[in-house]
Structure 1
Amino acid sequence: MQLTIPTLLTLARILMIPVLVLVFYLPVDWSNIAAVTLFILAGLTDWLDGWVARRFRMTSSFGAFLDPVADKLMVGVALIIIVQRHPEIGLALSAAVIIGREITISALREWMAAVGESGRVKVAWAGKIKTILQMVAIGFLLYGEPLGPIPVLDIGRWLLIGAAALTIWSMLSYLRSAWPAMRSRP
């Protein structure tokens, strides 16, 4: 297996996860700024690895597998540390919905591919909007402090709840698309 630049960027994103956790818990005033910066940097590497892979035809099966894994790990870990810092029912339920959906849809995609029906479970608009809301919410929640009169934490809470609602919608859309294959007999 040859490691391409996009795959190296994806691996770097995975290596940022323990650094994010460490920085988040540092007992210094700037830990929230550093955590948000790392999260944004991870998002930029996600965009960059995809762009480089497509632009320079550096796609690989390993990269196609690893990229969504890196994304889900980063989001899952970020949600866990946020909920640990802010143990509130709205955040905990939203995080559980988002993480549960990722596990469910990953399993669904794997199963649909195994039965030759992977074309039924393609990314939908609700999933894309959910991802944007989720990433912005996580950034706000990692920062967690007011910026002057702007209630960053409250905005992050509402964005994450909105992302969780879209998560349910997109999951139901995927399941509805897959239902005919799930109903058929083996």
Structure 2
Amino acid sequence: MASRLPNHLTLARIAAIVPLAVLIVTPGVWAAWLAFLLYLAAALTDWLDGYLARKLGSVSAVGKFLDPIADKMLVAAVLIMLVADHRLIDWNLIPVLLILGRELLVSGLREYLGQKAVALPVSQLAKWKTGLQMTAQGAIILAPGLPALGFVNGVGILLLWAATLLTVITGGDYLRRAIRYLRAA
């Protein structure tokens, strides 16, 4: 059972997406706090499932397949719901488009190159990007729960723009690394 725990955590992250989406668009301080706590738990499973898989020696093909999908589903769902709730509008839609575009690009590259037995491993900078992006999203989710601290949303948006810069850099890096294989095809 312990060997399946990492995959169960990944599945729990996927299962949290719909309740999280509902909470993000539900008005009220209590909903913002519940959304933030659920998001925090989901974000922590991103780290915990990988840690446990390595520690328990239970890295699996299912986990390698599901983990990045769960991450992308969570990030995309949160961004879409923040747009739907009008927390990301106007110029702040640019990070949403760039982040989602990069995720599709990298997923497509990995899919195509995987068929050719070429791996595109996650870079350290991409891990920093993910951490910064999750922190930004967490701040924006929590902001309505801290009405006396109006700057929290602004900090979240600033962090989202910083994460977007890393998103563009890491997306370009993945594309650069993949081009030699794409040209060979």
Q: With the length of structure 2 as denominator, give the TM-score of the two structures.
A: 0.90
Q: Corresponding residue for 1:180?
A: 180
The letter of the residue matching 1:179 is I
Range that drifts further, 151-160 or 23-32: 23-32
For 1:46 and 1:7, how far apart are their aligned partners in 2? 11
Contact preservation (8 Å) 1:133, 1:163: yes
For 2:153 and 2:50, how far apart are their aligned partners in 1? 31
Identify if the C-alpha distance between structure 1 residues 26 and 150 changes in structure 2 by more than 3 Å, giving closer, same or farther.
closer
Percent of pairs with identical residues: 36
For 1:6 and 1:76, how far apart are their aligned partners in 2? 22
Q: Corresponding residue for 2:157?
A: 157
Q: Which has the higher contact order (CA 8 A, sep 6+)?
A: 2
Q: Corresponding residue for 2:137?
A: 138
Q: What are the ranges of 5 or more consecutive residues in structure 2 without an aligned counterpart?
A: none
For 2:139 and 2:35, how far apart are their aligned partners in 1? 11
Q: Shift in Å at residue 32 of structure 1?
A: 0.8
For 2:34 and 2:95, how far apart are their aligned partners in 1? 24
For 1:88 and 1:61, how far apart are their aligned partners in 2? 39
For 1:149 and 1:87, how far apart are their aligned partners in 2? 18
Counterpart mapping for 1:1-186 below 5 A = 4-85=4-85, 86-118=87-119, 121-145=120-144, 146=146, 148-149=148-149, 151-184=151-184, 186=185
Q: Shift in Å at residue 139 of structure 1?
A: 0.4
| 1:45-97 per-position Cα deviation (integer Å, ceiling 9, x unaligned) | 22221122111112211111111111111110001111122241232110111
Pairwise CA RMSD:
1.7
Identify if the C-alpha distance between structure 1 residues 42 and 149 changes in structure 2 by more than 3 Å, giving closer, same or farther.
closer
Q: Shift in Å at residue 29 of structure 1?
A: 2.6
The letter of the residue matching 2:117 is G
Contact preservation (8 Å) 1:83, 1:91: no
The letter of the residue matching 2:140 is L
For 1:140 and 1:87, how far apart are their aligned partners in 2? 13
Q: Shift in Å at residue 148 of structure 1?
A: 4.2
Range that drifts further, 72-81 or 141-150: 141-150
Q: Shift in Å at residue 26 of structure 1?
A: 2.7
Q: With the length of structure 1 as denominator, give the TM-score of the two structures.
A: 0.90
Contact preservation (8 Å) 1:140, 1:156: yes
Q: Shift in Å at residue 112 of structure 1?
A: 1.4
Q: What are the ranges of 5 or more consecutive residues in structure 1 without an aligned counterpart?
A: none
| 1:19-59 per-position Cα deviation (integer Å, ceiling 9, x unaligned) | 10122233433111111111100012222211221111122
Contact preservation (8 Å) 1:53, 1:59: yes
Q: How many equivalent pairs are there?
A: 181
